[in-house]
């Protein structure tokens, strides 16, 4: 079995490399560290590449740009993978407005380059695309909400389990990032439905884990722990800090990908997040981290929310669980917070909680995994 992973040094890409390094004969990763270009030192994934090359004997790293059509075609033709996990992206909806051409070229054109390379060289390849819940735009904000002390909740029985795949992606405010991901999302669907290719679209909620090079503009839970450990001030944007997201650990994401690979379909769409049980607001995140850290977090609040941001979002996992009953969430919200805490905080001899020593929290958040 041969696996090709784009964005192989990012959160999901690196998790996939580790997973398939134990199961495949060859794992090839494409990553040119554009995350450092997008987010500066916070987003730099060099530490992850070094770690993967040292610890994964079947892994081969290729520094290539998915916008390079010929290069991508050559790689796919040479590797002839049984599975492609396409996780490379420009992932920030705030940043996209400042670099619209780069955003669209990476997210949409890069995806088209990969799909065409597969169609022409290895049409039997299973193709998994990491999409986003931002394809739904701000449509979820039209659902009737109920305000609680620390969070917003859906106050509509049709959404008791969250947002399903049937929710409209049309006629809403997406951000340019959301629009470029919609284009890629629909392309992957179409190559499955029109050409009969085995393609899946996973519309991710908040994908997380200690392998995330969290930056202010992307990866908020990892960045919030980083801010707590380094004393940075954290900025909350709008909605009283009660905006809700569902958190899913990167290991559970890759397990879902593997389930699809074992029993693929054509052009299938799945919402993939932690679900209601793993949903949490920013205020609740801050409270949990303060309890773990035993120290207050420095943060400011702005009434101006991010354009197109969700007030409340958690994934309805009914379809995914029905198609793949062997899959389930294995990392609870408490598991996720405890793992981050072990990564970023330690207890000293007096029992006080301090930032972990000998860690470069900017570039290498965790050496546990």
pLDDT, tens only, 161-172: 999 999 999 999
Domain boundaries, the chain: 2-355
Q: What is the mean pLDDT of residues 55-83?
A: 98
Task: Please give the full DSSP string across 203-234, using - where no structure is assigned.
Answer: EESEEE-TT---BTTB-HHHHHHHHHHHTPPE
pLDDT score recorded for residue 353 = 58
* pLDDT(51) > 80: yes
Query: What's the N-to-C CA distance of the chain in angstroms?
Result: 24
pLDDT band at 244 (very low <50, low <70, confident <90, very high): very high
pLDDT score recorded for residue 354 = 59
The neighbour count for residue 104, using CB atoms within 10 Å, is 20
Instruction: Please tell me the least confidently modeled range out of 208-217, 256-265, 303-312, 358-367.
Output: 358-367
Q: What is the mean pLDDT of residues 211-221?
A: 76
pLDDT band at 279 (very low <50, low <70, confident <90, very high): very high
Query: How far apart, in Å, are the Cα atoms of 266 and each of 125, 128, 200, 340?
Result: 11, 11, 7, 36
pLDDT score recorded for residue 367 = 45
* pLDDT(366) > 80: no
Q: Which residue has the tokens 């959301």?
A: 178
Q: Which of 90, 85, 118, 104 is nearest to 191 (CA)?
A: 118
Query: Per the structure block, which two tokens stand in for 255?
Result: 């397990």
Q: What fold, for 2-355? A: Rossmann fold (3.40.50)
Question: Which residues have a Cβ under 8 Å from the Cβ of 22 and sit 6 or more positions away?
Answer: none
Contact (Cβ atoms closer than 8 angstroms) between residue 361 and residue 344: yes
Q: Which of 7, 2, 4, 15 is nearest to 366 (CA)?
A: 15
pTM of the model: 0.93
Measured CA to CA, the distance from residue 168 to residue 140 in angstroms comes to 9
* pLDDT(151) > 80: yes
Higher local confidence (pLDDT), 343 or 353? 343
Q: Is 103 helix (H, G, I), strand (E, B) or coil?
A: helix
Helix axes 110-121, 69-79, angle to 10 degrees: 40
Indicate the average pLDDT of the chain: 93
pLDDT score recorded for residue 219 = 73
Q: What is the mean pLDDT of residues 117-139?
A: 98
pLDDT score recorded for residue 212 = 82
Higher local confidence (pLDDT), 359 or 306? 306
pLDDT score recorded for residue 326 = 98
Higher local confidence (pLDDT), 345 or 143? 143
């Amino acid at each position: 079995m041969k696996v090709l992973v784009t964005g192989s040094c990012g959160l999901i890409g690196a998790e996939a490399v580790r997973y398939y390094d134990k199961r495949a004969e060859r794992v090839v990763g494409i990553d040119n560290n554009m995350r450092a270009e997008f987010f500066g030192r916070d987003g730099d994934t060099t530490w992850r590449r070094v770690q993967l090359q040292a610890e994964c004997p079947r892994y081969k790293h290729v520094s290539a740009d998915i916008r390079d059509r010929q290069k991508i075609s050559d790689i796919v033709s040479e590797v002839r993978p049984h599975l492609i996990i396409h996780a490379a992206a420009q992932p920030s909806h705030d940043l996209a407005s400042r670099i619209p051409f780069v955003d669209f070229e990476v997210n949409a054109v890069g995806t088209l380059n990969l799909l065409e390379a597969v169609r022409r060289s290895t049409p039997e390849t299973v193709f998994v695309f990491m999409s986003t819940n931002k394809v739904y735009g701000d449509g979820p904000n039209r659902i009737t909400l109920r305000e609680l002390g620390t969070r917003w909740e859906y106050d509509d029985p049709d959404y008791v389990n969250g947002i399903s795949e049937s929710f409209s992606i049309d006629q809403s405010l997406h951000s340019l990032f959301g629009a470029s991901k919609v284009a890629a999302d629909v392309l992957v669907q179409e190559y499955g439905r029109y050409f009969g290719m085995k393609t899946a679209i996973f519309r991710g909620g908040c994908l997380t884990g200690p392998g995330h090079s969290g930056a202010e503009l992307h990866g908020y839970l990892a960045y919030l722990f980083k801010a707590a450990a380094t004393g940075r001030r954290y900025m909350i944007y709008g909605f009283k800090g009660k905006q809700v997201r569902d958190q899913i650990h990167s290991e559970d994401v890759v397990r879902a990908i593997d389930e699809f690979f074992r029993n693929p379909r054509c052009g299938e769409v799945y919402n993939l997040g932690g679900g209601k049980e793993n949903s949490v607001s920013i205020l609740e995140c801050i409270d949990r981290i303060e309890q773990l850290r035993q120290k207050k977090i420095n943060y400011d609040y702005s009434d101006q929310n991010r354009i197109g941001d969700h007030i409340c979002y958690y994934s309805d996992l009914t379809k995914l669980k029905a198609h793949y009953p062997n899959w389930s969430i294995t990392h609870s919200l408490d598991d996720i917070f405890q793992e981050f805490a072990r990564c970023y905080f330690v207890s000293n001899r007096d029992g006080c909680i301090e930032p972990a020593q000998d860690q470069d929290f900017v570039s290498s958040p965790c050496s546990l995994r």
